[in-house]
Amino acid sequence: MKKDLHPSNYRFVVFKDMSNEYSFLTKSCVDTKETTTWEDGNEYPLYKLEISHTSHPFYTGKMKLVDTAGRIDKFKTRYAKK
């Protein structure tokens, strides 16, 4: 294998699904600015997700509208004038 191919800054990171408040702890090298306290009492970096396996329609079997960017509101305001 080639040397220095993979990042060396792996650490525990909390990933939080913002659509249903589900969180999980795993190792990652993603850059974060926020931190949170996990169930074990330790503080870990926090990375916010818009969708995860607990809210994605493929995994849940339910079609649920996830509008994080305000696309529906933009559509309504654009066509409300007409």
- What pTM, to 2 d.p., does this model score? 0.64
Q: How far apart are CA 56 and CA 53, in angstroms?
A: 5
Q: Kindly report the backbone phi and psi dihedral angles of residue 23, in degrees, each rounded to the nearest multiple of 5, phi listed first.
A: -130, 150
Model pLDDT for residues 2-54, shown as the tens digit of each residue = 888 888 888 999 999 887 888 999 999 999 999 999 999 999 999 998 777 67
Smallest CA-to-CA distance from 29 within 45, 54, 9 is with 9
The residue-averaged pLDDT of 51-67 equals: 64
Per-domain residue ranges of the chain: 11-79
